[in-house]
A and B are shown apart, each in its own frame.
Chain A
Amino acid sequence: MSQLPIDVLSGLPFGCVYGLLALGLVMGYRTSGVLNLALGAQGFLVALFFNAAIDDGWSSLVSFIVWVIIFGPFVGIALDRLLFRHVRGAPVVVQLVSVLGLLIAIPSLATVLAGSTSPSPHALILAPSTIYTHLGGYAISGQAVVTVSITIVVLGLLSYLMHFSRLGLYMRSVVESPKLAELSGIEAERVGALAWGLSSLLAGLAGVLIVPILHQVSSFSLTTLVVAATAAAAVGGLTSLPLTMAGALMLGITQQIIAGFAPTGAQWTQGLRPSLPFVILGFALIFHPRLTHLAGRSDPMAGINPPVPSLDVIRRQVRKGRNSRWVVGLAATIVIAVVALNVTDAWAFYLSQGASYACIFLSITLLNGTGGQISLSQASFAGVGGFVTAQMAIHFALPVGAGVFLGALAAGAAGFIVAIPSSRLEGLGTALVTLAFAMLADSLLFPLSWMGNGGTGVILPRPQFGSISFNSSRPLLLFVLVFLAGLSWFVVWIRESKLGLEALAVSSSRRGANAIGLSNKRVSISIFTISAAIAGLGGGIFAITDQSISPSDFNSQYSLVFLVIVVVLGSRTVYGALVGGFGYVIVKQLLSTFAPQSFGALIPLVVGVLAISWVLHPEGLIERQHRYITQLKSHLPKKGLVAASK
């Protein structure tokens, strides 16, 4: 019996689940222009409650009606009310960070609500592994029957809804122009909410159907499912529902064929199957003509009664005078000396770790704050830097300092390779290409023996410069803080260099930059490469501080968290990165020392909520506070005026 038909049949359920999620993704994107990367997390939320309810004795039908049919759409409508309708038309970075906030917060919220114990996976109707029928001699399992049947029914209903119902007509009109639709008496916001409800229903359905196939209710598996769905949606150009479904089926089937035919045993073949969606996503983004300008959808009637400009357009030059710089530099030196000489060894270690995170965060300050670019792979570049540092020290007996430098070069080279295709894209496209790279690094690059030592990680010694040893944490802290100060100065210098000015121009207006002969590609690639090298330096510093590095230290999820932390605090100032780096480690340590263990789950929730609230203050918390203080000062009576009144 041939293996190919078996692989095709076993790939169909996966393809159907990807397809349901991808259809939800496309519906939301077409209606509002927001690519909801948290859709997998919404699917997880529904699947978690569905399975937990069955564990509690509910029948699967009642649980399905309550959690999938009622609760699923409710989540979508609620999110539209609270978030999506407010970020419609906002800059891509605002949309993306708020959605990432959801991606981080929803699984954490679900864990807090449902408890830390994962429920057992339950099938909707038929027993998943029981063979119910045969097709041409090939066995068809209960799960395949259920998944494929439900997908066919959903597709039929969706086709009817979109093409023959009044609601479908309204939805299509809102996609074209919400303002025109409103002028025709259609309540665009209500139609948008219904689309988000439908999108969330499809996510819940996908979550419930995939759980029996994966044999677990895993937040990681379900939230990352959205990448496969995004790849399928990209095949359909984020607009065509039939092409999206075809892309999803092709993806699911090809994954199974690869799993069936690829040689077993080799490290790279194990990563091949999970990597396929990322490869397809990357290729679709680079070569699909519709996806090269994903700068956000706009209403053709936007010029009529335009909304208030989003807060993100209020940019402030954070430029300090030379005197101010000297004062800040002197204060920083005093703080560094006092802190490094007085903290305990344990806290010296934690602060060194915080400094290494701050180095990585500075790469986001440069990339997003100066270059206006979005990267979801900064943690991966840090990982490349860290692993190269460690491997150079272990296998080539190079001094650790030289290893850090080579690690930065390697990360810069990786950044350059990612920057070339992403420079062709805009906004969301760049973010998705970097996300694909981060996922590829997780599944293919870091597990390699010459990189992450087969996934187990690498152990390395602390640096030694002549007779100065950094085995003790306090000298290391002093060294790391001085290094961080130098790197901060470098980022400020780049921002105020000619390249920084050009990057600001390109991020403000690509057309305007083109009109003065500025090459968007050169500027974008330069900034991206330097930023990746800085992240690599941070990864190297992390490795020598920790004396070890493993793939789990810098997986793709960290990239999302890092981006959220920096932009929420303020990506246009180095203080945002410094406060973020040290704050991240200090809060983590304080919570693990003083708070109950259950508080751990709240950290992602807090980070997620902060990201969502960022929509209200896109200049970042630090700049926002600075503005408040300035406003407060302006209300105080001025000395001269007081004297004059006397």
Chain B
Amino acid sequence: MNFAANSDVESVNVLEIKGVTKKFGGLTSLDNVNIVLGEQTIHGLIGPNGAGKTTLFSILSGELRPDNGDIYFLGRSIKGLSPPKRARLGIGRTFQRLELFKGMTVSEHVLISLRCRDSNWGNFSLDQISTEPIINLTTSSMRTFVISKFHFFRQFSRGAPSPNESEKIKSLLMSLNLSEVADRQVESLPLGHGRLVEMARALALSPQVLLLDEPSSGLDSLETQVLSNAIKAVVETYRCSVIIVEHDIKFVERLASVVTVLDAGKIVASGETKTVLRSEKVRAIYSGIST
């Protein structure tokens, strides 16, 4: 079964998860999961512990491989791609337990991400996903080859940002209200700021899909409010789609237009957020939690 993000409006599917199944030994963590993510949509992924949310996230980011099924990004299969290649294609992510670069400042987090996007390793595109051998040594491909070899030496270039890079960093940090902590090392930041830094780092890749793993985890109500405003602003400013895995139902309700509920690896409900969260099935799963 397919659940379109916005069935009555014709839109391009940014990401399609088709029939994904994942088993760990005898335990089925995901069972024939199908999800479609539309353009500039915030899609919530909820479910109790052990529902398979994190497994699905790991499969989307390439850390795990599905036993069955496939994932399509802008209509092309990305099943065999490694996490770095998916990131370079335009699938950014954040982590429930922060994965920041200790010893680096907030600006440097954005800088390194910008450079990954702009380097020759960053120029990975959907056209490169091909099983056919590259034997056509045209002038153009040779030129690309020479340039890529030249790029190898660029990695030894100076680490300080160029004026152009500085401008981009400034603008990105301003959009997430991180300008004041731009030169601070990330270890000294509170958790809420840390989550925004992860988001800034992911946004520097100019992603088309942003995967947010439990973004409100560990935040107080004020920080959660700031974060939810930031996520809304990100979708409007950067025109990307977002998938949020979250335990906080109210947080998801505030943000997501579409929600998918997983339980024991299966999709139990999917569709418009308010409708899904009011359904008896979902209320039964979340018994005791008011929606």
Contacts and interface: CB of A to CB of B under 8 A. Distances in A.
Interface of A: 313-317, 493-494, 496-502, 504-505, 508-509, 511-520, 522, 526
Contact of B103 (A508, A514, A515): A508
A516 B103 contact: no
Nearest to A509: B99
Contact of B205 (A497, A505, A509, A516): A516
Interface of B: 61-63, 82-85, 87-88, 92-95, 99-104, 108, 111-113, 115-117, 121-122, 124, 154-160, 185, 187, 198, 201-202, 204-205
B155 A508 contact: no
A499 B124 contact: no
Nearest to A319: B159
Given A515-B202, A517-B116, A502 B100 contact: no
A520 B82 CA distance: 11
B112 A514 contact: no
> Interface on chain A toward B: helix, strand, loop, or mixed SS?
helix
A558 B187 CA distance: 36
B101 A512 contact: yes
A510 to B, nearest CB: 8
B135 to A, nearest CB: 25
A504 B201 CA distance: 15
Contacts of A500: 159
Q: Tell me which of B83, B111, B185 has the highest count of chain A C-beta atoms within 10 A of its own C-beta.
A: B83
Given A496-B158, A501-B112, A515 B104 contact: no
A283 B105 CA distance: 39
A514 B87 contact: yes
Contacts of B82: 514
Nearest to B115: A498
A497 B111 CA distance: 12
B123 to A, nearest CB: 10
B111 A501 contact: yes
A502 B84 contact: no
B83 A515 contact: yes
Given A508-B100, A509-B100, A514 B155 contact: no
A516 B121 CA distance: 11
Nearest to B83: A514
A518 B100 contact: no
B124 A313 contact: no
A519 B159 CA distance: 18
Given A317-B185, A509-B101, A516 B116 contact: yes
A497 B158 contact: yes
Q: Which 8 pairs of residues, A with B, have the shortest CB-CB distance? A: A512-B99, A315-B103, A517-B87, A517-B88, A514-B83, A508-B101, A509-B99, A516-B113
A515 B87 contact: yes
9 contacts: A313-B102, A496-B158, A497-B156, A499-B156, A501-B104, A511-B95, A512-B101, A515-B87, A516-B87
A512 B156 contact: no
A313 B87 contact: no
Contact of A497 (B83, B157, B204): B157
A516 B201 contact: yes
Nearest to B117: A517
A317 B124 CA distance: 32
A386 to B, nearest CB: 26
B95 A505 contact: no
B155 A502 contact: yes
B102 A519 contact: no
Contact of A516 (B102, B112, B157, B158): B112
A315 to B, nearest CB: 4
Given A497-B155, A515-B92, A504 B101 contact: yes
Contacts of B156: 493-494, 497-499
Contacts of A515: 61, 83, 87, 92-95, 99, 201-202
Given A505-B101, A517-B88, A518-B116, A512 B205 contact: no
B36 to A, nearest CB: 23
A135 to B, nearest CB: 43
A511 B116 contact: no
Nearest to B62: A514
A316 B94 CA distance: 25
Contact of A517 (B100, B122, B155, B157): B122
A504 to B, nearest CB: 6
Contacts of A502: 112, 155
A100 B36 CA distance: 53
Given A515-B95, A519-B121, A315 B87 contact: no
A573 to B, nearest CB: 13
A518 B154 CA distance: 15
B139 to A, nearest CB: 27
Given A499-B155, A512-B101, A522-B121, 5 more contacts: A502-B112, A508-B102, A509-B101, A517-B88, A518-B84
B155 A498 contact: yes
A104 to B, nearest CB: 29
Nearest to A572: B103
B95 A512 contact: yes
A502 to B, nearest CB: 6
Contacts of A314: 187
A57 B176 CA distance: 79
B151 to A, nearest CB: 11
Contacts of B95: 511-512, 515
A316 B121 contact: no
Q: Tell me which of B88, B103, B111, B154 has the highest count of chain A C-beta atoms within 10 A of its own C-beta.
A: B103
Contacts of A498: 115, 154-159
Q: Tell me which of A316, A497, A512 has the highest count of chain B C-beta atoms within 10 A of its own C-beta.
A: A512
